[in-house]
Structure 1
Amino acid sequence: MSLPSLDLLDRWTALAGADTAPIGAGIIARYAEPHRRYHTGTHLGAMLEAIDELSAAASDITAVRYAAFFHDAIYAVDRADNEERSADLGRDILESLGATPALVGEVVRLVVLTRGHDPEAGDANGAVLCDADLVVLGGTPEAYAAYAVAVRAEYSHVPDDLFRAGRASVLRNLARQPRLYRTALAHDRYEQRARANLAAELADLTAATA
C-alpha cells in the first residue's frame, strides 16, 4: 500500500514548483507499479521523512530530496541497471525543468550511489541519502520482518534456493561495512538494531539451506 499520492505530490511541488505537478505525479505513479511490493510510495514517503530528520547533516538538501524521488523511479527485478536508468530519468527531467548543471550532476551521482550504499568519507549528501534508504533495516523486528516479506514478494518468480543465496549475499555485503549508517544521528538511532535484524535474517536464510 502506498502513502496518499497527494502527500508525495505536495513534497514534489515544494521542491520543483506547483507548475511541475504533472511531472511529479508521473514520477510518483512509477512507485505504484503492480510488481512492486517494497519499493513503493510508502518506501519513498518513509525515506523523505528520514531525510527531513537527517537534513542538518547534508550539504545540499535539495539535491538529496530530488535524488530520493528518482532513486527507485525505474525498478525492475530482472535488471541490474535500475539505478543508472533512474539516474538518466532524473537527468532528463531536471534538465527539462532548467535545473543547474551542478544540481543535475549531484542528483545523478546520488541516485547511482544507492546501488551500493557506500558513500565515501566526507560525502555529506551521500551519507544522508543512503542512511535514509537504509532506515528500514533499523526498524523493530516486526517492521523488519514485514520488509523482508515484501522484498521476497517482489522476487516471487525466483526459486527459493536462488533467492536465499542472492539475498544472503546482499545482506553480507551490507554487514561487512564498518558502519551501516554514516550520519551520527542515524548511526546512534539505528545501527545496533539494524545489525541485529540483518543477523537474524541471515540466520534464517542459512538455516533454510542447511
Structure 2
Amino acid sequence: MTAPEIEIRRAWHRLIGDRHDAALENLFTLHRQPHRRYHTATHVMWVLRHIDDIAPSCDVLDIGTVRAAALFHDAVYDPLSTTNEHDSAKLADAVLAGVGFSSARRGAVHRLILGTAHRPGSTVADVDEQVLVDADLAILGSAPAEYTAYATAVRAEFAHLRGDDWRRGRSAFLRGVLGTPAIFHTHYMATRREARARANVAAELAALETDQ
C-alpha cells in the first residue's frame, strides 16, 4: 500500500468505519489502472488535504458528504468517456447505500461529484460544492514545477490523441478556465492561488500555441 493510499484509508475509516474495506480496495484498484497518471490515489489524497485546509474558513453544511464526494470523485476515469463523473457518482451511491448513508446524503454526494466535471458556464450550488471544486482545482494554483508535472501527467493520460487534437482540446479547456471571472470560489483559495493559477494556465496555453 502506498503512502497516499494509507492516508486515504485513514480518511475512509474516520468517515465510514473499518468494516467496509472491500469497497475501499475496489477504489484503490481503480486508482491503480495503468492509463492513469494524474487521476490516482495521490490526487485524491491532495483533494482531501485541501478540503481540510479550506473548510474551517467556510460555513460547510456537511463535511462528511464533501469528503465522501472527494473519495469517489475520480473513481471512474476513462479519458475516452464523457460520463466519468456520472459513473463515479453512481458507484458512490451504490457503495454509500451499503454503509448507512441516508438517501439525502447520497444525493448530496452525487451532486457534488457531478460538480467536479467543471463544465464551462456551470454554477456552483452551495458552499460544500465550492469547497470540493476548489480542492479539486487547487493544482492549477500550485508552484510552476508542480503545475508542469500535472500538465505532463494529464497529457500522458490522453496519449491516444495526436498532437493537434490534444492541443485543440486542451487549449479550449485552458481558455475556458481563463475566461471565468474567478477560478476559485472560496475566499481562502482565491486569496492564495487565483493569481498563480491564472499565470500557470496562461503559460501552458502559450506553450501549446507556440507548438502549433
Shorter chain as normaliser: what TM range? over 0.9
1-side partners of 2:198 and 2:157: how far apart? 23
Aligned match of 2:166: 163
Q: Per-residue deviation at 1:4?
A: 3.8
Range with bigger deviation, 10-19 or 109-118: 109-118
Range with bigger deviation, 186-195 or 92-101: 92-101
> Partner letter of residue 15 of structure 1?
L
What's the secondary structure of 1:19's corresponding residue? coil
What's the secondary structure of 1:167's corresponding residue? helix
> Partner letter of residue 36 of structure 1?
R
1-side partners of 2:193 and 2:17: how far apart? 33
Q: Per-residue deviation at 1:169?
A: 0.5
Q: Per-residue deviation at 1:70?
A: 0.8
Q: What is the aligned-residue RMSD (CA, Å)?
A: 1.4
1-side partners of 2:20 and 2:35: how far apart? 27
Aligned match of 2:84: 82
1:132-183 CA-partner distances (Å, limit 9, x unpaired) = 0000000111110111100011011210110000000111111111111101
Tell whether the 8 Å contact from 2:115 to 2:124 is kept in structure 1 after alignment: no
Query: Residue 192 of structure 2: which of 182, 189, 192 is its match?
Result: 189
1-side partners of 2:87 and 2:125: how far apart? 26
2-side partners of 1:45 and 1:34: how far apart? 18
List alignment gaps of at least 5 residues for structure 1: none
2-side partners of 1:102 and 1:187: how far apart? 30
Q: Per-residue deviation at 1:122?
A: 5.9
Aligned match of 2:111: 109
> Partner letter of residue 171 of structure 1?
L
> Partner letter of residue 82 of structure 1?
N
Q: Per-residue deviation at 1:98?
A: 2.2
Tell whether the 8 Å contact from 2:27 to 2:75 is kept in structure 1 after alignment: yes
Tell whether the 8 Å contact from 2:140 to 2:201 is kept in structure 1 after alignment: yes
Which structure 2 residues correspond to residues 90-109 of structure 1 after superposition, within 5 A?
90-109=92-111
Aligned match of 2:67: 65
Tell whether the 8 Å contact from 2:65 to 2:105 is kept in structure 1 after alignment: yes
Which structure 2 residues correspond to residues 1-210 of structure 1 after superposition, within 5 A?
3-56=3-56, 57=58, 58-116=60-118, 120=123, 123-209=126-212
Range with bigger deviation, 184-193 or 3-12: 3-12
Range with bigger deviation, 2-11 or 182-191: 2-11
Runs of 4+ with deviation above 4 angstroms: none
2-side partners of 1:99 and 1:119: how far apart? 27
List alignment gaps of at least 5 residues for structure 2: none
What's the secondary structure of 1:15's corresponding residue? helix
TM-score by length of 2: 0.94
Change (3 A) 1:39 1:122: closer
> Partner letter of residue 98 of structure 2?
S
2-side partners of 1:119 and 1:169: how far apart? 16
Tell whether the 8 Å contact from 2:38 to 2:153 is kept in structure 1 after alignment: yes
Tell whether the 8 Å contact from 2:4 to 2:45 is kept in structure 1 after alignment: no
2-side partners of 1:132 and 1:68: how far apart? 9
2-side partners of 1:35 and 1:86: how far apart? 17
Tell whether the 8 Å contact from 1:119 to 1:126 is kept in structure 2 after alignment: no
